Amino acid sequence: MSDEIAVRLQKVRKIYGLSQRELAKRAGVTNSSVSMIEQGRVSPSLSSLEKLLKGIPMSTKDFFTIDFNDEADCFFRSYQMFSRTNKAVDCYHLLRDENDERSQLSYEVYEPGSDTGEDMLVDQGRSSGFVVQGKLNVIISSQIDDLDAGDGFIVEAGHPYRLRNLTDEKAILVINRPRH
């Protein structure tokens, strides 16, 4: 049991961004007490553990029920992105897997002259995007505008839209779209 408490205490402390020294100070115990518990050399009493957890703050119930094995990957490197080229637009999608049904965040590269196509896109939920490099021509329903780096847009569900790069420079868009 002391090994499980040691591992849990260290993980929880790190999640909250606390050093052993800071946790000890907050809980009113010595730094060596926290260190010895985390090393599994000492098994704290329930009251000592509760005192430590008040310094975080976290309940004893939460401390013992948090499931560290159920954590999904949170960070993704560029080589882990799902990618595809569609109508001359290179898309990189931030998804856990290809069947992820939640909204997708995409990084899209529009080479000069590229276009999402003459057929307007229509999403089942709200989409929003930011131009992070270059300039994009954006058509949403009957509205049209040229957006520069730093500009953004929102497309409500069911509204048709089209994205085009009419310049001689690459444009990059970060867009959040609902999954179908």
pLDDT digits (tens, 9 = 90+) for 140-162: 999 999 999 999 999 999 999 99
Q: Which residues contact 161 (CB under 8 A, 6 or more apart)?
A: 120, 121, 122, 127, 138, 139, 140, 141, 155
Inform me whether the pLDDT recorded for 103 exceeds 70: no
Cα–chain center distance at 168: 32
Nearest to 115 by CA among 138, 87, 141: 87
- With a pLDDT cut of 70, the percent of the chain lying above it is 79
Inform me whether the pLDDT recorded for 74 exceeds 70: no
Residue 166: what residue type? Answer: L
CB environment 96-135: b (16+ within 10 A), e (fewer): eeeeeeebbebbbbbeeebebeeeeeebeeebebebebbb
pLDDT digits (tens, 9 = 90+) for 15-66: 888 899 999 999 999 999 999 999 999 999 999 999 999 999 889 998 988 8
pLDDT digits (tens, 9 = 90+) for 116-144: 988 999 988 889 999 999 999 999 999 99
Record: fold of 78-177: Jelly Rolls (2.60.120)
User: Order of strands, edge to edge, in the sheet holding 121-122?
Assistant: 121-122, 160-164, 135-140, 143-148
Please report which confidence band the pLDDT of residue 11 belongs to, taking 50, 70 and 90 as the band edges: confident
> How much is the pLDDT for 72?
59
Query: Could you write out the DSSP letters of every residue in 155-178?
Result: E-TT-EEEEE--SSS-EEEEEEE-
Please report which confidence band the pLDDT of residue 70 belongs to, taking 50, 70 and 90 as the band edges: low
Q: Please tell me whether the overall predicted TM-score, pTM, comes out greater than 0.75 for this model.
A: no
Domain extent listing, the chain: 2-70, 78-177
Judged by average pLDDT, the poorest of 68-77, 132-141, 163-172 is 68-77
Mean pLDDT across the stretch 2-19? Answer: 87
> How much is the pLDDT for 97?
60
> How much is the pLDDT for 76?
65
Superfamily holding 2-70: lambda repressor-like DNA-binding domains (1.10.260.40)
Average pLDDT score over the chain? 85
Please report which confidence band the pLDDT of residue 113 belongs to, taking 50, 70 and 90 as the band edges: very high
